[in-house]
Amino acid sequence: MRGSTKSFLAVIAVGALALTGCSAEGGDGADANTLRIIYQKAGDVSPLDTLMQTTKEQFEAANEGVTVELEPVEGTDEDYNTRLALSQRSPDTAPDVFYEDTFRLRSDVDAGYLLPLDEYLSGWEDWSSFNDAAKEAGKADDGGTYAVPLGTDTRVIWYNKTVLEEAGVEVPWAPETWEDILEMARSVKDSQPDSVPFSMYAGTGTGEGTVMQSFYELLYGTGSGGLYDEEQQKWIAASQGFVDSLTFLQTLYQEELAVTPAEALDPNVWQTVVGTLLPENSMGGTVEGSYAPSFWQEGGQFEWAEYGEVMGVAPFPTQNGQEPGAVSMSGGWTLAVGAGTENPDLAFEFLTMAMGQENLLEYTVDNSQIAVRTDIAEDPSYLEANPFIEDVSAVLDVTNYRPATAEYAEISTAVQEATEAVIAGDTSPADAAATYDDTLRSIVGDENVVEE
């Protein structure tokens, strides 16, 4: 009898050890001498990973006894955001420093995940070399700064000069209206029936790419108010611009000027576009981020030595050439400090070390980012990094930002579904827009919607 009690106690003890063992493992991050860094690692070649590795080395050399634990998350932006949000739900797993998408910033501040940085920033001399627009990106609704931007980006048309010239289109090509784009695409189709004349992302497969590198360039160039009325703080429904944008996408896909609808729904279609179609001269053009050269330059995912001569860029035109003549979208990523960090001073120091001129310069160049520090923007190695820096920076004047509210992700999906419905060919743009309006109302409620 005693023996069985003993063995029972032993079992309980082992069980308890196992349970506490689990939590102790997660609790390492709370150690004052350990910093946990969570960031995204997309693909084999990751400039961000290099930046973090370099900073870790420098930081550990400068702070003896402090260990930096790097936790790269491999996956898409959406997967990364989910993983990050899940880790932030418990103080045991919340990171000390993390990579944060600007459009998630405000809603994550509302959730109480981010440490306000104002008092730390005031004592950091480098902060004055960040440009004002970039500083704005780290601000939340309360006016406080919660994150430091790593870089920003824009979206432009990337076109293949060889393909356009063969179709008799004059280069440099600078479309002034949507019609100009269709005209170019149709002449490419006539001269090179096997190539893809002009593709724009659509559908839920490409996720944010569908809206950032395609639909919003259309919507924000129609003269409509876009997605969200910042002044009234209401979402916009019944917009003619929305219908027109869908119609344009439908035309591209129905006239077979773009990739096939099935290809468009493949989440990896961008790799086909950037890695195969454009380098092999089988695509006229597409809308992509200012960071496209990072794929083609030496050490990139799809090295292409001649991209500087073959590719050209043009700002995306407004619908009928109306003011301001061109349109672009910007996003960008930041570094932030976890609200529950045991050692905010060390965490902030790590952040500033990563953001130092030399480290950030290397990252900006490798990742083809648009510089956020003025001393990087003037650096010759930045200006010479790729031949398009000037062109893609110029559209910062006409760029737009996503409404960064907590509901945005769901609304973005509703937009992507509308594009998917029209390119699949079975829904009219007006019907798809009406479905979007209904979904919008059910997400944010009637009181937060304004009709245009």
Partner 1 sequence: MTSRGPESSEGGPGRGANRQERERNGRLSRSRGSALRLLPLAPAIILIGVFLVGPIAWSFYGSFTNAALTGANAQNPEWIGFDNYLNLFSDPLFPQSLLLTVVFVLVSAVIGQNFLGLGLALLMQQAHKTVAAVVGTCVVAAWVLPEIVAAFVAYAFFFRDGTLNQLTGFAGLPAVDWLFEQPMLAIILANIWRGTAFSMMVYQAALNDVPREITEAAEIDGAGGVKRLVFVTVPMIRRSIATNLMLITLQTLAVFTLIYVMTAGGPTNRSTTLPIMAYEEAFRYSDIGYGTAIAVVMLIIGAAFSLAYIRLLRERKEP
In the complex, the residues that contact partner 1 under the rule CB under 8 A are 1, 4-5, 8, 11-12, 15, 19, 78, 82, 85-86, 89, 104, 107-108, 110-113, 203-205, 261-263, 265-267, 405-406, 409-410, 413, 417, 420-421, 424, 442
Q: Which CB, 31 or 417, lies closer to partner 1?
A: 417
Report, in Å, the least distance between residue 406 CB and partner 1.
Answer: 3
Q: How far apart are CA 405 and CA 247, in angstroms?
A: 27
Q: Which CB, 48 or 259, lies closer to partner 1?
A: 259
Count CB atoms within 10 A of the CB of residue 407. 17
Q: Which CB, 1 or 61, lies closer to partner 1?
A: 1
Q: Which CB, 114 or 292, lies closer to partner 1?
A: 114
Instruction: Provide the 3-class DSSP secondary structure of residue 252.
Output: helix
- Amino acid type, 351: L
Token code pair at residue 105: 């910033």
Q: Which CB, 205 or 300, lies closer to partner 1?
A: 205
The single residue listed with the structure tokens 């001073």 is: 345
Report, in Å, the least distance between residue 16 CB and partner 1.
Answer: 9
Question: Rg of the chain over CA atoms, in angstroms?
Answer: 24
Phi/psi of residue 74, nearest 5 degrees: -90, 130
Q: Are 71 and 28 in contact (CB under 8 A)?
A: no
Q: Is the peptide bond before 324 cis (omega within 30 degrees of 0)?
A: yes
Q: Which CB, 4 or 122, lies closer to partner 1?
A: 4
CB neighbour list of residue 440: distance below 8 Å, 6 or more residues apart: 235, 237, 411, 414, 449
Report, in Å, the least distance between residue 109 CB and partner 1.
Answer: 9
Report, in Å, the least distance between residue 405 CB and partner 1.
Answer: 8
Report, in Å, the least distance between residue 117 CB and partner 1.
Answer: 19
- Amino acid type, 207: G
The CA-based angle 42-48-53, given to 5 degrees, is 115
Q: Which CB, 53 or 439, lies closer to partner 1?
A: 439
The residue among 78, 58, 79, 60 whose CA lies nearest residue 68 is 60
DSSP string, 108-123: HHHTT-B---HHHHTT
Report, in Å, the least distance between residue 254 CB and partner 1.
Answer: 16
Report, in Å, the least distance between residue 210 CB and partner 1.
Answer: 12
